[in-house]
Structure 1
Amino acid sequence: MRPIVLILIVIVVIASVAIGVYLYLQRYFQKPIEISIPIPLELSASLTRASRSIRVESPEFRPNETIPTAFTCDGSDISPPLIIEGVPSQTVSIAIIVYDPDAPGGIFYHWLLYSIKPSSRIEIPASIPKLAETKIGFQGFNDFGRIGYGGPCPPKGDKPHRYIFMVLALDIDIRTPSLKPSEFLKEVNGHIIAYGYTIGIYRRA
Protein backbone atom coordinates (compact mmCIF):
# COMPACT_ATOMS: atom_id res chain seq x y z
CA MET A 1 0.00 0.00 0.00
CA ARG A 2 1.36 3.39 -0.96
CA PRO A 3 2.24 5.76 1.91
CA ILE A 4 -0.12 8.45 0.62
CA VAL A 5 -3.07 6.03 0.66
CA LEU A 6 -2.20 4.93 4.19
CA ILE A 7 -2.02 8.55 5.33
CA LEU A 8 -5.44 9.28 3.81
CA ILE A 9 -6.97 6.27 5.59
CA VAL A 10 -5.51 7.42 8.91
CA ILE A 11 -6.88 10.94 8.36
CA VAL A 12 -10.37 9.59 7.59
CA VAL A 13 -10.34 7.37 10.69
CA ILE A 14 -9.19 10.22 12.94
CA ALA A 15 -11.82 12.56 11.47
CA SER A 16 -14.57 9.98 12.01
CA VAL A 17 -13.55 9.46 15.62
CA ALA A 18 -13.38 13.22 16.22
CA ILE A 19 -16.87 13.73 14.78
CA GLY A 20 -18.24 10.92 16.92
CA VAL A 21 -16.71 12.38 20.07
CA TYR A 22 -18.04 15.83 19.20
CA LEU A 23 -21.59 14.55 18.68
CA TYR A 24 -21.42 12.59 21.94
CA LEU A 25 -20.29 15.63 23.91
CA GLN A 26 -22.89 17.82 22.22
CA ARG A 27 -25.63 15.35 23.13
CA TYR A 28 -24.73 14.99 26.80
CA PHE A 29 -23.16 18.32 27.66
CA GLN A 30 -25.20 20.72 25.60
CA LYS A 31 -26.21 24.05 27.08
CA PRO A 32 -29.62 23.75 28.77
CA ILE A 33 -32.48 25.24 26.81
CA GLU A 34 -34.31 28.21 28.22
CA ILE A 35 -37.86 27.65 29.38
CA SER A 36 -39.97 30.79 29.30
CA ILE A 37 -42.62 29.75 31.82
CA PRO A 38 -42.48 29.09 35.57
CA ILE A 39 -42.05 25.35 36.05
CA PRO A 40 -42.09 23.08 39.10
CA LEU A 41 -38.62 22.80 40.59
CA GLU A 42 -38.92 19.01 40.50
CA LEU A 43 -39.18 19.09 36.69
CA SER A 44 -36.53 21.69 35.91
CA ALA A 45 -33.62 19.30 35.28
CA SER A 46 -35.72 16.89 33.20
CA LEU A 47 -37.26 19.61 31.05
CA THR A 48 -33.94 21.26 30.21
CA ARG A 49 -32.83 17.95 28.68
CA ALA A 50 -36.11 17.31 26.88
CA SER A 51 -37.24 18.55 23.49
CA ARG A 52 -40.03 21.08 23.29
CA SER A 53 -41.51 19.40 20.23
CA ILE A 54 -45.08 18.74 21.36
CA ARG A 55 -47.85 21.07 20.21
CA VAL A 56 -50.74 21.64 22.59
CA GLU A 57 -53.90 23.61 21.95
CA SER A 58 -57.50 23.80 23.06
CA PRO A 59 -60.43 24.46 20.71
CA GLU A 60 -61.99 26.48 23.54
CA PHE A 61 -59.33 29.16 24.07
CA ARG A 62 -56.25 30.50 22.32
CA PRO A 63 -52.84 30.71 24.00
CA ASN A 64 -52.66 33.48 26.61
CA GLU A 65 -56.37 34.20 26.32
CA THR A 66 -59.15 33.83 28.88
CA ILE A 67 -60.34 30.35 29.78
CA PRO A 68 -64.15 30.14 29.34
CA THR A 69 -66.13 30.13 32.58
CA ALA A 70 -67.44 26.60 31.97
CA PHE A 71 -63.96 25.25 32.72
CA THR A 72 -63.56 27.16 36.00
CA CYS A 73 -64.97 27.06 39.52
CA ASP A 74 -67.40 29.82 38.51
CA GLY A 75 -69.00 27.54 35.93
CA SER A 76 -69.42 23.80 35.43
CA ASP A 77 -65.81 23.14 36.47
CA ILE A 78 -65.28 20.60 33.69
CA SER A 79 -61.95 19.89 32.02
CA PRO A 80 -61.42 21.56 28.62
CA PRO A 81 -60.73 19.64 25.41
CA LEU A 82 -57.11 19.48 24.28
CA ILE A 83 -55.39 18.55 21.03
CA ILE A 84 -51.86 17.14 21.24
CA GLU A 85 -49.55 16.70 18.25
CA GLY A 86 -45.86 16.10 17.62
CA VAL A 87 -45.43 13.22 20.08
CA PRO A 88 -42.06 11.45 19.56
CA SER A 89 -42.28 7.91 18.19
CA GLN A 90 -40.37 6.43 21.15
CA THR A 91 -42.90 7.73 23.68
CA VAL A 92 -44.29 5.09 26.05
CA SER A 93 -47.04 7.22 27.61
CA ILE A 94 -48.37 10.77 27.78
CA ALA A 95 -49.14 12.80 30.89
CA ILE A 96 -50.91 16.12 31.35
CA ILE A 97 -50.38 18.46 34.27
CA VAL A 98 -52.18 21.75 34.79
CA TYR A 99 -50.91 24.24 37.32
CA ASP A 100 -51.18 27.85 38.41
CA PRO A 101 -47.77 29.46 39.01
CA ASP A 102 -49.40 32.68 40.26
CA ALA A 103 -51.23 31.17 43.26
CA PRO A 104 -50.56 33.01 46.56
CA GLY A 105 -48.88 30.00 48.15
CA GLY A 106 -46.79 29.02 45.14
CA ILE A 107 -47.51 26.55 42.34
CA PHE A 108 -51.01 25.10 42.67
CA TYR A 109 -51.85 21.89 40.78
CA HIS A 110 -55.25 21.67 39.11
CA TRP A 111 -55.00 18.41 37.16
CA LEU A 112 -52.95 15.24 36.78
CA LEU A 113 -53.92 12.94 33.91
CA TYR A 114 -51.43 10.24 32.95
CA SER A 115 -50.91 6.80 31.39
CA ILE A 116 -52.41 8.19 28.17
CA LYS A 117 -51.75 6.07 25.09
CA PRO A 118 -49.34 7.91 22.75
CA SER A 119 -50.27 8.76 19.17
CA SER A 120 -49.21 11.28 16.53
CA ARG A 121 -52.44 13.17 17.27
CA ILE A 122 -54.29 12.86 20.56
CA GLU A 123 -57.67 14.43 21.19
CA ILE A 124 -58.60 14.76 24.85
CA PRO A 125 -62.36 15.33 25.10
CA ALA A 126 -63.95 17.84 27.44
CA SER A 127 -65.42 16.86 30.78
CA ILE A 128 -63.24 13.90 31.75
CA PRO A 129 -65.04 12.13 34.65
CA LYS A 130 -63.51 12.93 38.03
CA LEU A 131 -62.47 9.34 38.69
CA ALA A 132 -59.11 7.76 39.40
CA GLU A 133 -59.44 5.49 36.34
CA THR A 134 -60.95 6.71 33.07
CA LYS A 135 -60.98 5.57 29.44
CA ILE A 136 -58.33 8.19 28.68
CA GLY A 137 -55.94 7.38 31.52
CA PHE A 138 -55.40 7.56 35.27
CA GLN A 139 -55.98 10.70 37.30
CA GLY A 140 -54.32 11.94 40.44
CA PHE A 141 -55.21 14.37 43.19
CA ASN A 142 -55.26 18.10 42.58
CA ASP A 143 -54.34 20.65 45.24
CA PHE A 144 -58.01 21.04 46.15
CA GLY A 145 -57.63 17.54 47.57
CA ARG A 146 -59.89 15.95 44.96
CA ILE A 147 -59.36 13.45 42.15
CA GLY A 148 -59.41 14.80 38.61
CA TYR A 149 -59.69 18.28 37.19
CA GLY A 150 -60.24 21.30 39.39
CA GLY A 151 -60.73 24.45 37.34
CA PRO A 152 -59.19 27.88 37.80
CA CYS A 153 -60.41 29.54 40.98
CA PRO A 154 -58.07 32.41 41.87
CA PRO A 155 -58.86 34.74 44.78
CA LYS A 156 -61.35 37.42 43.80
CA GLY A 157 -59.67 40.69 42.97
CA ASP A 158 -56.31 39.10 42.13
CA LYS A 159 -54.54 39.96 38.92
CA PRO A 160 -55.14 37.45 36.10
CA HIS A 161 -53.58 34.08 36.86
CA ARG A 162 -51.82 31.93 34.28
CA TYR A 163 -52.78 28.27 33.91
CA ILE A 164 -50.15 26.07 32.30
CA PHE A 165 -51.52 23.04 30.44
CA MET A 166 -48.32 21.02 30.08
CA VAL A 167 -48.05 17.75 28.17
CA LEU A 168 -45.18 15.36 28.90
CA ALA A 169 -43.97 12.53 26.67
CA LEU A 170 -42.54 9.85 28.96
CA ASP A 171 -40.33 6.80 28.46
CA ILE A 172 -42.31 4.97 31.16
CA ASP A 173 -45.98 4.22 31.82
CA ILE A 174 -47.16 5.15 35.31
CA ARG A 175 -49.85 2.64 36.21
CA THR A 176 -50.67 3.87 39.70
CA PRO A 177 -53.92 5.85 39.96
CA SER A 178 -54.65 8.55 42.54
CA LEU A 179 -51.12 9.92 42.84
CA LYS A 180 -50.57 13.18 44.69
CA PRO A 181 -48.71 15.93 42.80
CA SER A 182 -45.49 15.33 44.77
CA GLU A 183 -45.67 11.59 44.05
CA PHE A 184 -46.35 12.17 40.37
CA LEU A 185 -43.44 14.59 39.98
CA LYS A 186 -41.11 12.09 41.63
CA GLU A 187 -42.26 9.35 39.24
CA VAL A 188 -41.70 11.37 36.04
CA ASN A 189 -38.38 12.91 37.07
CA GLY A 190 -35.72 11.76 34.63
CA HIS A 191 -38.25 10.16 32.26
CA ILE A 192 -39.37 13.12 30.13
CA ILE A 193 -38.54 12.77 26.43
CA ALA A 194 -40.39 15.83 25.17
CA TYR A 195 -42.95 18.36 26.30
CA GLY A 196 -45.20 21.15 25.16
CA TYR A 197 -47.76 23.47 26.66
CA THR A 198 -50.42 26.06 26.17
CA ILE A 199 -51.42 28.79 28.60
CA GLY A 200 -54.85 30.02 29.59
CA ILE A 201 -55.68 33.10 31.67
CA TYR A 202 -58.39 33.59 34.26
CA ARG A 203 -59.38 36.34 36.66
CA ARG A 204 -62.27 36.67 39.09
CA ALA A 205 -63.59 40.19 39.62
Structure 2
Amino acid sequence: MADAPFNFNPYDFLPQVPSFDVRSDDMADGQALPTPQLSGLFGAGGEDTSPHLAWSGFPDGTKSFVVTCYDPDAPTVSGFWHWAVFNIPASVTELPTGAGDPNGANLPDGAKMLTTDGGVRQYLGAAPPPGHGPHRYIFVVHALDVESLDIPDEARPAFLQFNMFGHTLGRATLTGLHENKG
Protein backbone atom coordinates (compact mmCIF):
# COMPACT_ATOMS: atom_id res chain seq x y z
CA MET A 1 0.00 0.00 0.00
CA ALA A 2 2.68 2.52 0.95
CA ASP A 3 4.42 2.15 -2.43
CA ALA A 4 1.24 2.46 -4.51
CA PRO A 5 1.13 6.29 -4.60
CA PHE A 6 4.53 6.42 -6.28
CA ASN A 7 3.17 4.70 -9.38
CA PHE A 8 1.93 7.94 -10.92
CA ASN A 9 2.81 11.58 -11.34
CA PRO A 10 -0.29 13.80 -11.39
CA TYR A 11 1.35 16.19 -13.86
CA ASP A 12 1.51 13.37 -16.42
CA PHE A 13 -2.26 13.79 -16.88
CA LEU A 14 -1.88 17.39 -18.06
CA PRO A 15 -0.75 18.47 -21.52
CA GLN A 16 3.01 18.05 -21.81
CA VAL A 17 5.01 21.28 -21.69
CA PRO A 18 8.75 21.94 -21.67
CA SER A 19 10.55 21.68 -18.36
CA PHE A 20 13.04 24.18 -16.99
CA ASP A 21 15.35 24.36 -13.99
CA VAL A 22 14.38 24.91 -10.36
CA ARG A 23 16.67 24.60 -7.36
CA SER A 24 16.55 25.27 -3.65
CA ASP A 25 19.07 26.22 -1.00
CA ASP A 26 16.84 24.49 1.58
CA MET A 27 15.91 21.12 0.09
CA ALA A 28 17.17 18.56 -2.43
CA ASP A 29 15.13 16.84 -5.12
CA GLY A 30 14.11 13.32 -4.12
CA GLN A 31 15.38 13.73 -0.54
CA ALA A 32 13.67 14.08 2.84
CA LEU A 33 12.34 17.53 3.61
CA PRO A 34 14.26 19.37 6.34
CA THR A 35 12.48 20.11 9.62
CA PRO A 36 11.59 23.75 8.77
CA GLN A 37 9.56 22.54 5.77
CA LEU A 38 7.49 20.18 7.96
CA SER A 39 4.29 21.36 9.60
CA GLY A 40 4.11 22.80 13.08
CA LEU A 41 0.43 23.68 12.68
CA PHE A 42 -0.44 20.04 11.94
CA GLY A 43 1.87 18.55 14.58
CA ALA A 44 4.74 17.21 12.48
CA GLY A 45 7.39 19.02 14.53
CA GLY A 46 8.25 21.54 11.83
CA GLU A 47 7.99 25.27 11.27
CA ASP A 48 5.72 25.62 8.18
CA THR A 49 8.54 27.53 6.48
CA SER A 50 8.42 27.55 2.69
CA PRO A 51 11.73 26.63 1.08
CA HIS A 52 13.89 28.93 -1.00
CA LEU A 53 13.19 28.36 -4.71
CA ALA A 54 15.07 29.76 -7.72
CA TRP A 55 14.36 29.02 -11.37
CA SER A 56 15.89 29.60 -14.78
CA GLY A 57 15.65 28.47 -18.40
CA PHE A 58 11.89 29.02 -18.63
CA PRO A 59 10.28 29.38 -22.07
CA ASP A 60 10.32 32.57 -24.11
CA GLY A 61 7.00 34.35 -23.84
CA THR A 62 6.68 33.72 -20.10
CA LYS A 63 4.66 36.59 -18.60
CA SER A 64 4.15 35.34 -15.03
CA PHE A 65 4.79 32.42 -12.69
CA VAL A 66 2.77 30.31 -10.30
CA VAL A 67 4.42 28.34 -7.48
CA THR A 68 2.61 25.42 -5.89
CA CYS A 69 3.26 22.56 -3.49
CA TYR A 70 1.09 19.47 -3.82
CA ASP A 71 1.00 16.10 -2.05
CA PRO A 72 -0.50 13.54 -4.45
CA ASP A 73 -0.09 10.79 -1.84
CA ALA A 74 -2.53 12.23 0.72
CA PRO A 75 -5.30 9.81 1.70
CA THR A 76 -7.90 11.64 -0.37
CA VAL A 77 -9.08 11.27 -3.97
CA SER A 78 -7.83 14.80 -4.68
CA GLY A 79 -4.42 14.89 -3.00
CA PHE A 80 -3.59 17.84 -0.73
CA TRP A 81 -2.49 21.37 -1.68
CA HIS A 82 0.14 22.79 0.69
CA TRP A 83 0.87 26.09 -1.06
CA ALA A 84 -0.20 28.18 -4.02
CA VAL A 85 1.18 31.57 -5.08
CA PHE A 86 0.17 33.18 -8.35
CA ASN A 87 0.68 36.41 -10.33
CA ILE A 88 4.43 36.32 -9.72
CA PRO A 89 5.90 38.75 -12.27
CA ALA A 90 8.08 37.29 -15.03
CA SER A 91 10.99 39.42 -13.77
CA VAL A 92 11.03 37.45 -10.49
CA THR A 93 13.04 34.22 -10.62
CA GLU A 94 13.44 33.44 -6.93
CA LEU A 95 11.41 33.24 -3.73
CA PRO A 96 13.32 33.47 -0.46
CA THR A 97 12.99 31.01 2.41
CA GLY A 98 9.82 31.88 4.30
CA ALA A 99 8.07 33.63 1.40
CA GLY A 100 4.97 31.60 2.27
CA ASP A 101 4.52 33.07 5.75
CA PRO A 102 0.97 34.10 6.72
CA ASN A 103 1.46 37.80 5.98
CA GLY A 104 3.16 37.23 2.60
CA ALA A 105 5.72 39.95 3.36
CA ASN A 106 8.44 38.20 1.34
CA LEU A 107 6.31 37.73 -1.77
CA PRO A 108 6.92 39.98 -4.77
CA ASP A 109 4.57 42.89 -5.43
CA GLY A 110 1.37 41.69 -7.08
CA ALA A 111 1.76 38.05 -6.06
CA LYS A 112 -1.14 36.46 -4.19
CA MET A 113 -1.38 33.39 -1.97
CA LEU A 114 -4.42 31.13 -1.77
CA THR A 115 -5.80 29.17 1.16
CA THR A 116 -4.41 25.62 1.30
CA ASP A 117 -6.40 22.44 1.78
CA GLY A 118 -5.48 22.80 5.45
CA GLY A 119 -7.53 26.00 5.65
CA VAL A 120 -4.61 28.42 6.09
CA ARG A 121 -3.37 31.11 3.71
CA GLN A 122 0.33 30.32 3.96
CA TYR A 123 2.78 27.52 3.22
CA LEU A 124 1.62 24.48 5.18
CA GLY A 125 4.47 22.06 5.80
CA ALA A 126 4.48 18.30 5.36
CA ALA A 127 2.39 16.30 7.83
CA PRO A 128 1.30 12.92 6.45
CA PRO A 129 -0.83 10.66 8.64
CA PRO A 130 1.16 8.30 10.88
CA GLY A 131 1.92 4.97 9.23
CA HIS A 132 0.66 6.05 5.77
CA GLY A 133 4.07 5.67 4.17
CA PRO A 134 6.24 8.21 2.40
CA HIS A 135 4.58 11.17 0.76
CA ARG A 136 5.88 13.33 -2.09
CA TYR A 137 5.70 17.10 -1.81
CA ILE A 138 5.93 18.36 -5.38
CA PHE A 139 7.04 21.98 -5.57
CA VAL A 140 6.29 23.31 -9.05
CA VAL A 141 7.11 26.56 -10.77
CA HIS A 142 4.67 27.05 -13.64
CA ALA A 143 5.55 29.51 -16.43
CA LEU A 144 2.42 31.17 -17.86
CA ASP A 145 1.67 33.11 -21.03
CA VAL A 146 -0.44 35.73 -19.18
CA GLU A 147 0.68 38.49 -16.81
CA SER A 148 -2.00 37.68 -14.27
CA LEU A 149 -4.90 35.40 -13.50
CA ASP A 150 -8.14 36.81 -12.14
CA ILE A 151 -8.65 34.39 -9.26
CA PRO A 152 -10.99 35.30 -6.37
CA ASP A 153 -9.42 35.58 -2.91
CA GLU A 154 -11.59 32.74 -1.60
CA ALA A 155 -10.54 30.33 -4.39
CA ARG A 156 -8.56 27.20 -3.66
CA PRO A 157 -5.49 25.83 -5.47
CA ALA A 158 -7.49 23.37 -7.60
CA PHE A 159 -9.42 26.32 -9.05
CA LEU A 160 -6.12 28.07 -9.75
CA GLN A 161 -4.88 24.96 -11.58
CA PHE A 162 -8.07 24.86 -13.64
CA ASN A 163 -7.56 28.50 -14.67
CA MET A 164 -3.90 27.85 -15.58
CA PHE A 165 -4.94 25.16 -18.06
CA GLY A 166 -4.14 26.40 -21.54
CA HIS A 167 -1.81 29.14 -20.22
CA THR A 168 1.07 26.95 -19.02
CA LEU A 169 4.18 27.27 -21.19
CA GLY A 170 6.56 25.29 -18.98
CA ARG A 171 6.87 23.52 -15.65
CA ALA A 172 9.80 22.96 -13.29
CA THR A 173 9.50 20.48 -10.42
CA LEU A 174 11.38 19.75 -7.22
CA THR A 175 10.12 16.93 -4.99
CA GLY A 176 10.70 16.56 -1.28
CA LEU A 177 9.78 13.47 0.74
CA HIS A 178 8.45 12.93 4.24
CA GLU A 179 7.08 9.97 6.17
CA ASN A 180 5.49 9.96 9.60
CA LYS A 181 6.35 6.50 10.92
CA GLY A 182 4.26 7.34 14.00
TMscore range, shorter length = 0.7 to 0.9
| Distance in 1, Cα, partners of 2:143 & 2:158 | 18
1:97-176 aligned within 5 A: 97-106=68-77, 107-119=79-91, 122-128=93-99, 129-131=101-103, 135-136=107-108, 137-172=111-146, 173-176=148-151
What is the alpha-carbon root mean square deviation over aligned residues? 2.2
1:112 deviates by: 0.3
- 1:156 Cα deviation after fit: 1.5
Structure 2, unpaired ranges of 5+: 1-6, 40-44
CA displacement at 1:158 relative to structure 2 = 2.2
In structure 2, C-alpha distance between the alignment counterparts of 1:38 and 1:138, rounded to whole Å: 26
Which residue identity does 1:190 align to in structure 2?
Answer: G
Cα distance change of structure 1 residues 177 and 159 upon mapping to structure 2, 3 Å threshold? same
Could you tell me whether the CA contact under 8 Å between 2:95 and 2:107 is conserved in 1? no
Greater RCO (CA < 8 Å, at least 6 residues apart): 2
Normalising by structure 1, report the TM-score: 0.73
Query: In the comparison of the two structures, how many residue pairs are matched?
Result: 164
Contact 2:113 2:121 (8 Å CA) reproduced: yes
> Which one has a larger percent helix, Structure 1 or Structure 2?
1
- Relative to the length of structure 2, the TM-score reads 0.81
Structure 1 unpaired stretches of 5+: 1-35
Deviation digits for residues 42-74 of structure 1 (CA, Å, limit 9, x no counterpart):
x8343x2x212x111211121100100111112
Task: Work out which of the residue numbers 30, 49, 56 in structure 2 matches 1:78.
Answer: 49
Q: Are 1:187 and 2:163 an aligned pair? A: yes
Whole-Å Cα distance in 2 between the matches of residues 138 and 64 of structure 1? Answer: 28
